[in-house]
């Protein structure tokens, strides 16, 4: 670390050291947010500006350093609250009360020899930056040595640092460390070791790598439940914490925990089970109560020797390689290729407007709809889908046991061709749906206009719409523009056959508003016309003590027919013709008469009709 020098050409504004330290602390503590931008929405404007200045400085430093050393795994800001731990561990020489910002640079094992060179260049890049920055450069193996030495607080500080560049190692470590912390907080007394293994330890992690961790649980003093119950109970909680930890860490890495109880784990250690052997040999403890490191050292010393059974197990793993490869090849067909063509096929059927069929029925539906009915798909693609589904079903029923690599290559190529053709088919379906939508909207709107105004061509109906509805204020004037857009849309589509999804969606929404307005008006008009045809009656049957309560009846009169609803509470309807002949009827016949009746004709009731009504009801009064 070199001391700061004056630089008249310094083009980046300086920040007060204490303020900068606070800002870094805010950034570090915000790691529970998935993205930094989400946090910044809640930060005052002035603080945002200061954060941007600090990020700008570090961005320049990162850019210049990575330009020369692209292999660098990570660059991150250490959390200020862990400064004392960092400074004690690194024996940082600083003046009393001097505040430093600590920056970690992580390099791969293969480039370990470059560390002195990187350090010199990094110091030159930050020597004129305020606040003062202390550079810590470590290789991935050096990072794990900290864990082997049991300096877990130091590892915690590193894992919670704020990354300004990370290929995946720090993010994976952060997720694992948060997971470990959640587990220890809940049941620390049971946790023997928390060990990380796999690509993270090898320095090969990327931002989407799985993070493999082993958790050993002490079951030696369990009395109230069986060891199996303890393991399953803790396993369920540990797996739920894994999802929570990835979210809190703000990474895409998926945590894959393996949970062992101590008694079973110890038996596996004694037998040198291949999985446990690998875990002890390659794993790095993020937490250990004194069990894992002795096992690791004993393994290095050759004191843990595999049993004959374990040796046979190691050999069997090699012998099973060919079988495993064949199984994986078969799985490619039975899972990846099969679902890769089936799912988009069902999507095409749904886009067409039908519910998705069963997997077995899908090839037949594709052929029937798009090859035979619509004639927009070639038969060879229906055959490809049918072939893949058939192979899958035969494999599922063990009629086919082995699928060769050559056969898989052919299926992969055919499935690729099928999916590409299906994309074009989706476009064809959408265009057809667009045409149907435009025509359907037009027909719906002008069908309503005909029901309101009677028969007429587009021009006549449009004129009546403007004169009787818009000018009289029956519906909103904006509907005048909508109906014109619907007319124009039909003309445009017939001429160009081109409509974007956005255009169709806009037309659909506007048409919905217009149709709603017209439907409401038509209903109001119909109700008015119905009321014109309806006469309300009140009658009372019986005499003296046998006199019944008054009842209400309705009489609907048309040109040469009438319908009498004898009791509106029971819908007892009688049909009466002009000669007074009465027949039993129902609501459906009345509704049909109202529907087809020309409302412009005058009502007419004959003396014979009147006599029949009186015969049915007795004396009655007309209510106006």
β-sheet bridge partners, residue 133: 101
Q: Is 368:445 a contact under the CB 8 Å cutoff?
A: no
pLDDT at 173 over 70: yes
Tokens representing 485 are 């857009």
- Average of per-residue pLDDT values in the chain: 79
Least confident of 224-228, 253-257, 564-568, 581-585: 224-228
The answer to whether residue 467 is domain-embedded is yes
Band (pLDDT 50/70/90 cuts) for residue 364 is: very high
The answer to whether residue 130 is domain-embedded is yes
Mean pLDDT of 192-211: 90
Which pLDDT does position 511 carry in this prediction?
80
With tokens 């500006």, the residue in question is 49
Which tens digits make up the pLDDT trace of 20-76? 445 444 443 443 333 334 333 444 565 456 556 666 777 888 888 998 899 999 998
The answer to whether residue 78 is domain-embedded is yes
H or E stretch covering 107: strand 101-107
The answer to whether residues 32 and 112 belong to one domain is: yes
The answer to whether residues 99 and 189 belong to one domain is: no
Please tell me the distance from the alpha carbon of residue 409 to that of residue 184, in angstroms, as a whole number: 49
More confident residue, 602 or 205: 205
Which tens digits make up the pLDDT trace of 202-237? 888 888 888 999 999 888 877 777 777 777 777 888
CB atoms within 10 A of CB 345: 26
The answer to whether residues 97 and 246 belong to one domain is: no
3-state SS of 342-389 is: HHHHHHHHHHHCCCCCCCCCHHHHHHHHHHHHCCCCCHHHHHHHHHHH
Long-range Cβ contacts of 532-535 (<8 Å, 24+ apart): 532/599, 532/603, 533/557, 533/558, 533/594, 533/597, 533/603, 535/622
Among 140, 165, 190, which residue terminates a domain? Answer: 165
The answer to whether residues 233 and 282 belong to one domain is: yes
Among 280, 306, 332, which residue terminates a domain? Answer: 306
Task: Give the count of domains, the chain.
Answer: 5
Please tell me the distance from the alpha carbon of residue 53 to that of residue 85, in angstroms, as a whole number: 27
Least confident of 30-39, 113-122, 138-147, 575-584: 30-39
List all residues 6 or more positions away from 293 whose beta carbon is below 8 Å from its beta carbon.
148, 150, 285
Which pLDDT does position 52 carry in this prediction?
63
What percent of the chain has pLDDT above 90?
13
The answer to whether residues 19 and 126 belong to one domain is: yes
The answer to whether residue 426 is domain-embedded is no
Residues in the chain, how many? Answer: 624
The answer to whether residues 289 and 333 belong to one domain is: no
The answer to whether residue 424 is domain-embedded is no
The answer to whether residues 88 and 194 belong to one domain is: no
Q: What is the dihedral sign for C-alpha 383, 389, 392, 393?
A: negative
Q: Is 194:183 a contact under the CB 8 Å cutoff?
A: yes
Sheet order of strands, 582-584 included:
582-584, 572-577, 561-567, 551-557, 534-539, 620-623
The answer to whether residue 313 is domain-embedded is no
Is it true that the peptide bond before 448 is cis, omega within 30 degrees of 0? no
The answer to whether residue 527 is domain-embedded is no
Please tell me the distance from the alpha carbon of residue 394 to that of residue 612, in angstroms, as a whole number: 77
Band (pLDDT 50/70/90 cuts) for residue 600 is: low
Least confident of 47-61, 212-226, 497-511, 559-573: 47-61
Please tell me the distance from the alpha carbon of residue 580 to that of residue 621, in angstroms, as a whole number: 19
Which tens digits make up the pLDDT trace of 369-396? 999 988 899 999 999 999 988 888 887 7
Structural domain boundaries, residue 548: 540-623
Among 273, 306, 339, which residue terminates a domain? Answer: 306
Mean pLDDT of 189-210: 90
CA dihedral angle for residue 446, residue 452, residue 455, residue 461, rounded to 10 degrees: -50
The answer to whether residue 314 is domain-embedded is no
The answer to whether residues 286 and 327 belong to one domain is: no
């Amino acid at each position: 670390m070199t001391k700061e020098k004056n630089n008249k050409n310094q083009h980046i504004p300086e920040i007060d050291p204490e303020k900068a330290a606070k800002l870094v602390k805010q950034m570090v503590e915000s790691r529970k947010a998935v993205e930094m931008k989400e946090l910044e929405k809640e930060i005052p404007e002035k603080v945002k500006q200061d954060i941007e200045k600090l990020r700008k400085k570090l961005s320049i430093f990162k850019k210049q350093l990575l330009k020369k050393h692209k292999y660098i795994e990570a660059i991150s800001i250490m959390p200020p609250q862990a400064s004392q731990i960092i400074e004690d561990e690194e024996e940082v020489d600083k003046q009393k009360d001097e505040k430093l910002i600590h920056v970690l640079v992580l390099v791969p094992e293969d480039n370990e020899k470059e560390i002195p060179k990187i350090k010199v260049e990094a110091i030159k890049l930050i020597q004129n930056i305020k606040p003062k920055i202390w550079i810590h450069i470590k290789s991935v193996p050096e990072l794990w040595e900290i864990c082997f030495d049991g300096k877990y607080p130091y590892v915690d500080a590193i894992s919670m640092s704020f990354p300004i560049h990370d290929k995946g190692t720090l993010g994976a470590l952060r997720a694992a460390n948060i997971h470990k912390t959640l587990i220890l907080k809940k049941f620390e007394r049971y946790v023997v070791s928390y060990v990380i293994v796999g690509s993270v330890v090898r320095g090969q992690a990327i931002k989407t790598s799985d993070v493999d961790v082993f958790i050993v649980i002490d079951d030696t003093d369990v009395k109230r439940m069986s060891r199996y119950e303890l393991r399953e109970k803790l396993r369920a909680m540990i797996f739920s914490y894994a999802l929570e930890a990835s979210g809190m860490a703000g990474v895409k890495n998926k945590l894959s925990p393996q949970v062992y109880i101590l008694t079973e784990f110890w038996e596996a250690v004694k037998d040198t089970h291949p999985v446990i052997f690998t875990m002890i040999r390659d794993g790095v403890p993020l937490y250990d109560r004194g069990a894992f490191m002795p096992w690791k050292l004993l393994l290095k010393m050759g004191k843990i020797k595999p049993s004959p059974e374990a040796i046979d197990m190691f050999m069997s793993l090699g012998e099973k390689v060919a079988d495993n490869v064949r199984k994986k090849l078969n799985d490619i067909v039975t899972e990846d290729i099969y679902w890769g063509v089936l799912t988009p096929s069902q999507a095409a059927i749904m886009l067409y407007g039908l519910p998705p069929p069963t997997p077995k029925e899908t090839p037949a539906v594709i052929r029937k709809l798009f090859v035979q009915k619509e004639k927009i798909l070639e038969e060879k693609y229906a055959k490809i889908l049918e072939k893949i589904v058939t192979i899958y079903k035969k494999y599922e029923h063990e009629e086919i046991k082995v699928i060769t690599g050559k056969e898989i290559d052919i299926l992969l190529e055919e499935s690729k061709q099928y999916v590409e053709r299906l994309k074009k088919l989706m476009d064809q379906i959408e265009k057809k749906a667009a045409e149907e939508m435009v025509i359907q909207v037009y027909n719906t709107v002008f069908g309503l206009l005909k029901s309101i105004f009677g028969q007429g061509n587009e021009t006549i109906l449009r004129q009546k719409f403007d004169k009787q509805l818009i000018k009289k204020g029956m519906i909103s004037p904006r509907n005048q523009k909508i109906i014109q857009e619907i007319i124009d849309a039909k003309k445009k589509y017939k001429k160009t056959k081109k409509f974007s999804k956005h255009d169709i969606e806009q037309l659909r929404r506007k048409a919905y508003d217009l149709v709603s307005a017209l439907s409401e008006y038509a209903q109001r008009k119909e109700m008015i016309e119905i009321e014109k045809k309806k006469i309300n009656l009140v009658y009372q049957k019986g005499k003296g003590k046998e006199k019944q309560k008054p009842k209400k009846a309705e009489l609907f009169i048309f040109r040469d027919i009438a319908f009498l609803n004898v009791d509106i509470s029971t819908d007892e309807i009688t049909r009466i013709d002009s000669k007074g002949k009465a027949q039993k009827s129902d609501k459906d016949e009345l509704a049909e008469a109202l529907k087809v009746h020309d409302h412009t004709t005058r009502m007419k009731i004959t003396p014979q009709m009147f006599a029949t009504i009186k015969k049915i009801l007795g004396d009655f009064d007309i209510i106006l």
